[in-house]
Chain A
Amino acid sequence: MSMDIFMQHLLNGISVGSLYALIAIGYTMVYGILLLINFAHGDIFMMASYFMIFAVVDFGMPIWIAIPLIILLTVILGMLLERSAYKPLREAPRMSIMISAIGASFLLENLATYLFSGVPKGYPDIPWLTKVVNIGNVSFQIVTVVAPVLVIFILIGLMWLVNHTKTGMAMRAVSKDFETARLMGIKINTVIAATFAIGSGLAAVGSVLWGAKYSSVYPLMGVMPGLKCFVAAVFGGIGNIPGAVLGGIVLGLGETMLVAFFPGLTGYRDAFAFVLLIVMLLVRPNGLLGEKSTDKV
């Protein structure tokens, strides 16, 4: 394999990985605060893609208006989901809220099938993301570079939010102890809603970048990315934001390299994520960056 081709795969891997990272952050933040695997997260991502199609194709909006608008709509959808499916179960056992999440996922998938039909639609073309650039013998779409850069900025922003702001401090407190957080005067529902807003917003950003790479939009499009990003979050250490990014990138790179080096295994591309998950759970169940608990009772 020549250097050029290797670079090509490396770039692709990092960029797919960055997309996984964006979605994985949503899983990991929600898990961090609610100990809930938000199974509907992949479907929120799917809905964001449909929002984009409606905004651009049906309403003829310019891209630069459509993008902030769909991010906003997705944030609202995410908060609505939390309000209706998870908030009423705040005091319920964890299993109930988990089942509610699975239900919410099916609801969104079937609602999309019912409303938009199962026929795939094309994601609107965003020229400044899909344009192909050549450097030497390596050619790539602009989105391939935009995605990882954006992820780095988002990661820095989130780390600042979580570690250096009052809201972030409240998030960390709520993630450990609802009741004591309440005693501090923290409105835990607001903090949880904010977490869902951030996760859903990032899923929307992910969907825009995703659409530039894979333009087919259909009601079940969120299932496989959703599962893989969940794996990425667990791999990196669920609850840990840099872990989710790392997990996403390792997963994206691994997948791409598997196909590059062993073309015969192309069909197992999706299986790679789950093999990785099983190995990780056996070797290091807390994930790469998972925290060791230092609680003293």
Chain B
Amino acid sequence: MSKEYILEISNLSVSYGGIKAVKDISFAVPKGEVVTLIGANGAGKSSTLRAIVGLEKPAAGSIKFAGEELAGLSTDAIVEKGITLVPEGRRVFPNLTVLENLKIGAYMRKDDLSKDIEWVCDLFPRLKERSWQKAGTLSGGEQQMLAIGRALMSKPSVIMMDEPSLGLAPIVVQGVFDIIKEINRQGVTILLVEQNANMALKAADQAYVMETGRITMSGTGTELLENDDIKAAYLGKSKK
């Protein structure tokens, strides 16, 4: 059975001034799967996500979402199509309450939100308890939950996450990954960028390794977990 790809990136390049952060990469995200991009700092992972959602203008290449070209569109137009990004460092609005943060995630929607607010609160019971608190007063883990919940409020078909485990305690990281799997189980396609390669590969159906702006390796999550080079470079295990 051939896979249906919801997101297809071909020959994408992104540069900042003269510096090329992403060099001619191509990959595709099958509908309903978890795909991860792993790699070290500065490998171009975040730039790739930012280009997909229109925060950086691609220097070249094409980004197709459900067959539609996204390159060149403005961020609000891209988000409206049903693809969203949970940004690196969470970036919840500290001056808005938890509930307002969820509501603003659904900014483009005009229908009733109460059902989805309930759904997100079921996923993250902590947010419900704190719905009247300003988001700036939440702990790091709670802010990450809120950032994911906020993204879910737009009812995306693809959700991209940039380092959701960054700066969180190991037990909280486990919680974040459980949620990622749960969201995916409910039918949302996930493109995950991580430095925590171990966790990301365990969660992923398909994985790509980025190094200095290029994709150097790909395979299923389990394949890469078993790969000796990956073990040495990203999982902290020495080669036999």
Contacts and interface: CB of A to CB of B under 8 A. Distances in A.
* A and B: interacting chains: yes
Contacts of B108: 184-185
A185 B93 contact: no
B11 interface: no
Contacts, number: 74
B104 A169 contact: yes
A182 B94 contact: no
Nearest to B79: A185
B62 interface: no
A177 B96 CA distance: 12
Contact of B80 (A179, A185, A297): A185
Contacts of B74: 182
A182 B50 CA distance: 12
B180 to A, nearest CB: 18
Given A173-B104, A296-B140, A180 B93 contact: yes
Contacts of A173: 93, 96, 104
Interface in B68-115: 74-76, 79-80, 84-85, 87, 89, 91, 93-96, 100, 103-105, 107-108
Given A182-B55, A183-B53, A294-B134, A166 B91 contact: no
B138 interface: yes
B136 A185 contact: no
A295 B136 contact: yes
Contacts of A294: 94-95, 134, 136-137
B97 to A, nearest CB: 10
A170 interface: yes
A169 B103 contact: yes
Contacts of B136: 294-296
Contacts of B100: 169
B154 interface: yes
Given A294-B134, A294-B137, A182 B93 contact: no
Interface string A251-292: 000000000000000000000000000000000000000010
Given A183-B79, A185-B79, A296 B107 contact: no
A99 to B, nearest CB: 23
A176 B75 contact: no
A297 B143 CA distance: 10
A172 interface: yes
B189 to A, nearest CB: 17
Contact of B91 (A175, A180, A186): A180
Contacts of A182: 54-55, 74-76, 79
Contact of A183 (B87, B94, B134, B143): B87
Interface string A156-187: 00000000001001101101110110111111
Given A169-B100, A179-B55, A294-B137, A184 B94 contact: no
Nearest to A175: B95
Contacts of A186: 76, 104, 107
A230 B108 CA distance: 35
A185 B107 contact: yes
B50 to A, nearest CB: 9
B17 to A, nearest CB: 13
A25 B113 CA distance: 33
A185 B155 CA distance: 12
Contacts of A170: 104, 107
Contacts of A175: 95
Contacts of A293: 94
Interface string B142-163: 0100000010001000000000
B63 to A, nearest CB: 16
Contact of B76 (A166, A172, A185, A295): A185
Contacts of A295: 94, 136
A183 B85 contact: yes
A293 B139 CA distance: 16
Nearest to B105: A184
Interface in A110-138: none
A187 B75 CA distance: 9
Contacts of A297: 89
A296 B135 CA distance: 9
The 3 A-B pairs with the shortest beta carbon distances in the complex, nearest first, are: A185-B108, A182-B75, A294-B136
Interface of A: 166, 169-170, 172-173, 175-177, 179-180, 182-187, 291, 293-297
Interface of B: 53-55, 74-76, 79-80, 84-85, 87, 89, 91, 93-96, 100, 103-105, 107-108, 134, 136-140, 143, 150, 154
26 contacts: A166-B103, A166-B107, A169-B100, A169-B104, A170-B107, A172-B95, A172-B96, A173-B104, A179-B55, A179-B91, A182-B54, A182-B75, A183-B85, A183-B87, A184-B79, A184-B104, A184-B105, A184-B154, A185-B75, A185-B108, A186-B104, A187-B76, A295-B94, A295-B136, A296-B139, A296-B140
